[in-house]
Structure 1
Amino acid sequence: MNITELAGAYRELLAAAGAITDTAQLPPVPRATVDWTLSHVALSDTMLATAAARVRDGLPAEVDNRDAMDERAIAALVDATTHAERVDRVRANGEALVATVRTIPDERADTLVRLRIVDRSGRQVVDERRPWSELVRLRATEHLPGHAARIAAAGAGRHVD
């Protein structure tokens, strides 16, 4: 599969995150936004890479973001890492996802994947099947750019929902 847009979205996200340092004097809410967002992306990327490998291998795949939205998992990651380490984790997990997506044969790009999405409160908001290529497109054109914008705003000391 073509990964141009996906790789570009990661570059923009990492640039926004890299503009913030561990010693940046951010107000508590923007700092928490950056920490939460990076942890969420890192956890999401692991789940997505697993699904990508299953699509590549012709196996049934599911994307369920419950673990990437789990406040305990996110808090544990924030507590165990520095900002720089979270950025490194997003970089490594993003690179693994992009590398796996690149290996998916074009004929498997439209494989239907079970998509289960919960919001921050744990309430299920999506339960459907979608083509893998659509999930990759949404990640590249909506999800990652939205996270990058949130991080950039928080890095400037502003809170963005």
Structure 2
Amino acid sequence: MDTKTLADAYQQLLLAAERITESTPLAALERSDVDWLLAHIALSDRILATAARDVLAGIPVVIDNQAAMDDDNIAQLIGSTTYVQRIDAVRRNGAEFADLVRQVPERTGSVTVQLRVHDRSGRRISDSRATWAELVDLRATKHIPGHAQRLAELASRA
């Protein structure tokens, strides 16, 4: 599958994240939001990489984002890494996900995946189905760009 849009989205996200430094004047709640967001993306990309492996193996795919929304998982990642290490985790996990997507044949993009979506409080808010191609497009055109925009807004204070 083509991953240009996905790669571009991650590039913009990483550029915005790298513009935020220790000297960026952020309120404690904003800095906490930045840390949460990077941990969430890194954890989400692990889930999506596993899903991509399942797509490639022809295994039915269920994508459940609960682990990437879980307060304990996010706190553990934040507590065990520096800000720069979180950016590197997003870079690595995003690159792994994109590499696996690139390996998926275009015709396989029509495979249906089950989506279980949780909110920040851990409550399941949606159960739906989408094609693999729709999911990748959503990640590339909505999810990652939305987070990149938030980081860019905060980075603009530098």
Give the shorter-chain TM-score range: over 0.9
C-alpha distance in structure 2 between counterparts of 1:103 and 1:149, whole Å: 28
Q: CA RMSD in A?
A: 1.1
Deviation, structure 1 residue 43: 0.1
Query: What does residue 119 of structure 1 align with?
Result: 119
Q: Contact between 2:114 and 2:130, CA under 8 Å: does it hold in 1?
A: yes
C-alpha distance in structure 1 between counterparts of 2:33 and 2:153, whole Å: 10
1:69-148 → structure 2 map (5 Å cutoff): 69-148=69-148
1:39-58 → structure 2 map (5 Å cutoff): 39-58=39-58
Query: What does residue 37 of structure 2 align with?
Result: 37
| Greater Cα shift, 115-124 or 85-94 | 115-124
The SS at the match of 2:60 is coil
The SS at the match of 1:34 is helix
Q: Contact between 1:44 and 1:68, CA under 8 Å: does it hold in 2?
A: yes
C-alpha distance in structure 1 between counterparts of 2:73 and 2:123, whole Å: 17
Query: What does residue 151 of structure 1 align with?
Result: 151
The SS at the match of 2:110 is coil
The SS at the match of 1:109 is helix
TM, length-normalised to structure 2:
0.95
Amino acid corresponding to residue 112 of structure 1 in structure 2: T
Which runs of no fewer than 5 residues in structure 2 stay unpaired? none
C-alpha distance in structure 2 between counterparts of 1:23 and 1:92, whole Å: 25
Aligned residues: 157
C-alpha distance in structure 2 between counterparts of 1:76 and 1:150, whole Å: 23
The SS at the match of 2:122 is coil
- Percent of aligned positions with the same letter in both sequences? 47
Which runs of no fewer than 5 residues in structure 1 stay unpaired? none
Deviation, structure 1 residue 152: 1.7
Q: Contact between 2:12 and 2:148, CA under 8 Å: does it hold in 1?
A: yes
C-alpha distance in structure 2 between counterparts of 1:19 and 1:154, whole Å: 9
C-alpha distance in structure 2 between counterparts of 1:154 and 1:72, whole Å: 25
Q: Contact between 2:17 and 2:87, CA under 8 Å: does it hold in 1?
A: yes
Query: What does residue 59 of structure 2 align with?
Result: 59
Q: Contact between 1:42 and 1:89, CA under 8 Å: does it hold in 2?
A: yes
TM, length-normalised to structure 1:
0.93
Show CA shifts across 1:58-93 (max 9, x none): 111111000000011101111111110000000000
Q: Contact between 2:20 and 2:154, CA under 8 Å: does it hold in 1?
A: no
